Each structure stands twice: as C-alpha cells, then as structure tokens.
Amino acid sequence: MALEILITDDHTLFRQGLRSLLESEGFQMTAEAGDGRTAVKLAKQLQPRAAIIDVSMPGLNGIEATKQIRHDCPEVKVIVLSMRSDSRAVLDAFAAGACAYLLKEAAFEEVAVALKAVLQGKTYLSPAIAHVVVRNSIERWSAKPGPMRRGISGREREILQLVAEGRSSREMAASLYVSMKTIETHRKQIMDKLNLHSVAELTKYAIREGVTSL
C-alpha cells in the first residue's frame, strides 16, 4: 500500500537518495522541501501521513518546523533527523511533537524502519542514542526528591509502607521483630525527614512516591 511522505532537507542529493530508498520499500513520496517554511506549507497543503525533517535548515529549523506541523496537522507523524546525539536535542525534538529521532549518519534503511513504526502509532528512537535518553531519565529521577533520596533508610521505607497500609504500631513491631518504642522512633524520624506531620500525610506521600500502591 502506498504511503505519502514529505521529505525535508536542504541537501538535494540526500533527499534524492532517501526518496529512492523509500520508494523501493513501497512508499510513495508526496513532495520534497529544501527548508522548514516550505515543509510547513506543503504539510498543510498535502496532509501527508508522515514528514521526515532535518533539524539544521535555513530560515526555519527542523524543531520549529515540527512544532508548527504538529500544531496545524496533528495527524502528520514527524521523524526528525539530526547530527546531534545529546539528550537536550533528543528531548527538544520529542517535546516539539516528533514521533521519531534518528541520527543523520544512520543508514537509510533505519529511516524506513522508523517510518513504518511511526505509521503504526509507535515512537521510534535510534538505538545508537537510546542510552542518552535512558541516562538522562535516570539522572532526573535521581534528582527528584523521594523517600530513597531524602536519607530514608531501608527499614524506614518498610515502616513507611506499613503505616500507609494502615498497620498499627503493635502490628508493625510484631512484623519487624522490634519494640513498639523502636517503631515510634522510626516513625518520628520519617516525619522529620519528610517534613510531614500526620499519618494521613505519610500515606499520601507513600502512594505518590510509589512506596505502596494503595
């Protein structure tokens, strides 16, 4: 089945090479554009199913073009091609509405793989840079205030969960083989560290942070 694709890149040879490959894969090109503004205009006029856009283009860069296309034509799936592999570039592209991000140095065949994926409603990220996004996500998660990142010990996390699950001090003491006084001491330390002042607040916090699913 023929699929309509818009290719946008300021290098004619690159556009022609990519077009030739995709047509050999059964895709039907709608048009080519040499700059971002033309891409936005053609996307509005032709309503292609997908647009392949280079980030570095004169007049209107690929990120801004992606934003405008997704705003005006939300059904158009945008694949961004870039020379940059840093997390900021990748996240900027997806924040703009891109459905896929590929390094421009990737083989043409990978563009076809990404195109098929986005047309099926999936998101595609080049394996060559997937680790960048994973690392960035881990760093952001680690920086987020949470029970494990506010000095809460393993035993205190256990008690926090039990508190949120409605266990009494006696039940917690029996479950953890400690005295009730120890439980009360731990609970006070948890409240002090988290700056919370009631069981209800502890419960809400535990649920929000994923300590318990209740």
All domains in the chain, ordered by first residue: 4-140 (3.40.50.2300), 147-208 (1.10.10.10)
How much is the pTM? Answer: 0.66
Environment class of 210 (CB within 10 Å of its CB; exposed 0-12, middle 13-18, buried 19+): exposed
Quote the CA–CA distance of 161 and 11 in Å, as a whole number.
58
Question: Strand 28-33 relative to strand 4-8: parallel, antiparallel, unpaired?
Answer: parallel
Instruction: Report whether pLDDT(3) > 90.
Output: no
Pair of tokens at residue 143: 């920086």
Helix (H) or strand (E) segment spanning residue 173: helix 169-176
Res 29: pLDDT: 87
Of residues 155 and 70, more confidence is placed in 70
Confirm if 27 and 115 have CB atoms less than 8 A apart.
Answer: yes
